[in-house]
Amino acid sequence: MVKSLPSRTEVPIEETWNLKNLFESEEDFNTSLKEIEEEVNLFEGKFKGKIDSPAIILEALDKYASIFEKLVPSGTFASLSLSTDQTSTEAQLRSSKFATLSAKVNSKLSFVNSELVELPNEVLQKAIDESAAFQNYLQKLLVKKQYQLHPEVEKTLAAFSSTFNGPYKLYDTTKMLDISFDDFEINGSSYPLSYVLFENDWESEPDTEVRRSAFHAFSSKLEEYQHTTAKSYDMHLQIEKTTSDLRGYNSIFDYLLLNQEVDRTLYDRQIDLIMKELAPHMRKYAKLLQKVHGLEKMTFADLKISLDPSYEPKITIEESKKYIEDALGVMGEEYLEMVERSYKERWIDFAQNTGKSTGAFCSSPYGNHPYILISWSSRMNEVFVLAHELGHAGHFYHANKEQNIFNARPSLYFIEAPSTMNEMLVANHLLENSNDLKFKRWVISSIVARTYYHNFVTHLLEAAYQRKVYQRIDEGLPVNAPILNEFKRSVLEEFWGDAVEITEGAELTWMRQPHYYMGLYPYTYSAGLTISTQVSKRVLDEGQVAVDEWTEVLKAGGTKSPIELAKMAGVDITTEKPLRDTIAYIGTLIDELVSLTEEIDSN
C-alpha cells in the first residue's frame, strides 16, 4: 500500500544530500553574499568605463570569472535547499535573498559586456588571440554583438532579472505549495495522492481501476489551477517575446536557439521526423501493452504501465550502486571514483518527502562536486534514472576540471547526450549478463518505456506542443488555458492516432513540466539521445577507442559547438542519418518485445 509522504524532518539523513560542502552554516552563506557584493563594488570601481585594450579586457575577465565562481555556490545552496522542501519558510527566504543579490550583481556587472561589444572588432580579436582561456567567451560575444542594447538598457534589464524569473517561481509555488491533492477512493478504500506519488507510483500502477482513478483524481485537481498556471506561462512567454523583439531577432525561435548554437533546421527536423516516423513504432508498442494487459481499450492513462508488472525487480539504494558501477565500469577508473564518491559523500538526495521537487535533476556547481535529486521508489527502473543523472554529473565532473567557468557548459542541444549515454550503457550491460527471457524482456521494455519513451516521446511531444505555442506568440498573440489544452490534445492525437484514446485530462499534461520555462529545452532530450544511441553502439563495437573519444568530448565542455562535439564522438548530426538510425533502432526493440512476448506466452 502506498503511504502518504513524510515531512522533510522525518526522512533518514543518510537518504539526503549533504549541502555542507557548499556552506557549513547559514552564517557562512550570509557572509558569502556580503563578500560578493563588496567584490562587485570594487570591480565596478576599477573597471567601469576603462575596458579599452586587450590587456585590460583579459584582466577584467579574469576578475569577472572570479566573481561568478563565488556566486555559483551561493546560488546552488539557495536553490538546492528549496528544491528538497518548498514548504520551508527558511528556504523560501534564502532563495529570495539570493535572487535579490543576483539581480543587483547582474545589473552592476552589465557594463562588462556593454563595453566589450562597443570596442572595435580588431581590439576584441587581439584579446582573443592573446588568451585561450577567454577566446570562447569573446567569440560568442561577437556573435551576439548585433543584439546588444544600449548600456543603460542592459543595466536596467539586468536589474529586473529576478522579476523576469517571477512567472517560473509562481508556477513552482502553485505546483508545490498551493495544489493539495485529496485522497481518492475506490470500492471503499482510500489512496493518498500527490505529484510525487502519482508520477512514481500511480501512473504505472498495474491495477487498471486504481491507475485510471488516480489519473482522473490527479487531472481533476490540476484542472482547478489551469487558468492561474496558464497565466503564469503566458507572462513568461510575453517576456521572451518582448526581449526577442527589443534585441532585434527575426523571430523568438532565433532568439532562443542562438545560445544552443544550432539553427532552426536541426530543431524542426528533430520534431518533424519523430512525430512522423517514430509514431507507428510507438503505436505498435501501445497495442502490445493493451494485448498483454487484456485492456478493452488503450487510454492515455495506461501508457506508463510496465509490460510485465509481475517482473518489476525491487532494488535498494545500496544495490543500485553495484548495478551502476558494473554498467559504467567501461568509462574507466576516474569515472567510477566519481560514482563511488556520489554515494559515499552524499551527493544524492534519495528521500521522498512533502514539498520536494518532482522528477530528477543534477546540479553541477563549478568548483564543487555535482548534486543529484531523485525520489527513490525502490523500482529497478530508478537505476536508469540515477544513471541518467550521473551522466550529467560525470559530464561536468570532467568539464569543470578541464575548463574555466565560462567554457565548462556546452550548448543545451548537447546537454542530454552524456546523461542518456549512461542509460544506454546500463541497458547494454544488463542485456549482456542475462539469458533469461523474462529479464531480457524487462530490460528491453525498460529501454523503450523509460529511456526512449521518456526522452523520445514525452519530451518530444512537449517540444511539438511548445513549437505550436511559440508560433502563436511570434504572431503577437497571447495564450490561455483553453488554447494550451487544445494545442496539447492535438499533438497527442496526432502522434497516437487511433491506437490510444486520449483520456480527458491528458490535455492538462502541459501543466506538469517546468521545462517550458527553460526556452527550447524539451526537444534537446531526443537530440542528445540520438547522439548517445550512436555512441553507445560504437562503445559496444569498438570498445576503448570509442570510450576514450567520448571522454575527450566530456572534457571539452562548451569549447565546441554541438555539431563539433558530436563529430568528435563519430556522429554527424548535420545529416538525418543518426536520427533515422535511432528511430529504426527503437523499432527493432519494439519488434523484439513482440517476439519475446510471443515466445514467453508459448512456453
Q: Give me the phi and psi of 521, to 5 degrees please.
A: -95, -45
Read off the C-alpha cell for 283.
Answer: 503505436
Chain centroid to CA 436: how far?
A: 34
- The residue behind cell 555556490 is 73
Q: Looking at mean pLDDT, say which of 4-8, 291-295, 446-450 comes out highest.
A: 291-295
What residue ranges define each of the domains in the chain, with the CATH number in brackets?
A: 8-164 (1.20.140.70), 180-224 (1.10.287), 253-345+379-602 (1.10.1370.20)
Nearest Cα to 268, choosing from 88, 444, 83, 471?
471
Asked whether residue 511 carries a pLDDT value surpassing 70, the answer given is yes
pLDDT computed for residue 1 by the predictor:
52
Asked whether residue 439 carries a pLDDT value surpassing 90, the answer given is no
| Beta bridge partners of residue 190, listed in sequence order | 185
pLDDT digits (tens, 9 = 90+) for 241-293: 999 999 999 999 999 999 999 999 999 999 999 999 999 999 999 999 999 99
Query: What integer is the mean pLDDT of 412-424?
Result: 92
Q: Which pTM was predicted? A: 0.88
pLDDT digits (tens, 9 = 90+) for 449-472: 888 998 889 999 999 999 999 999
CB atoms within 10 A of CB 227: 12
Query: What integer is the mean pLDDT of 299-303?
Result: 97
Q: Is 185 helix (H, G, I), strand (E, B) or coil?
A: strand
pLDDT computed for residue 376 by the predictor:
93
Lowest-pLDDT choice from 18-27, 167-176, 496-505: 167-176
pLDDT computed for residue 3 by the predictor:
67
CB atoms within 10 A of CB 385: 23
pLDDT digits (tens, 9 = 90+) for 38-87: 999 999 999 999 999 999 999 999 999 999 999 999 999 999 999 999 88
Asked whether residue 352 carries a pLDDT value surpassing 80, the answer given is yes
pLDDT digits (tens, 9 = 90+) for 356-407: 988 899 999 999 999 999 999 888 888 999 999 999 999 999 999 999 999 9
Q: Do 421 and 534 meet the contact criterion of CB atoms below 8 Å apart?
A: no
User: Quick one: angle between helices 54-84 and 121-130, nearest 10?
Assistant: 70
Distance CA 413, CA 119 (A): 30
Q: What is the mean pLDDT of the chain?
A: 93
pLDDT digits (tens, 9 = 90+) for 514-531: 889 999 999 999 999 999
- 205 contacts: CB under 8 Å, gap ≥ 6: 211, 214, 305
pLDDT band at 177 (very low <50, low <70, confident <90, very high): confident
Read out DSSP for 338-383? HHHHHHHTT-EE----TTPPSS-EEE--TTS--EEE----SBTTHH
Q: How many CA atoms lie within 13 A of 322 on its CB side?
A: 5
Q: Do 344 and 403 meet the contact criterion of CB atoms below 8 Å apart?
A: no
pLDDT computed for residue 311 by the predictor:
79
* Distance between start and end Cα atoms, the chain: 32
pLDDT computed for residue 156 by the predictor:
93
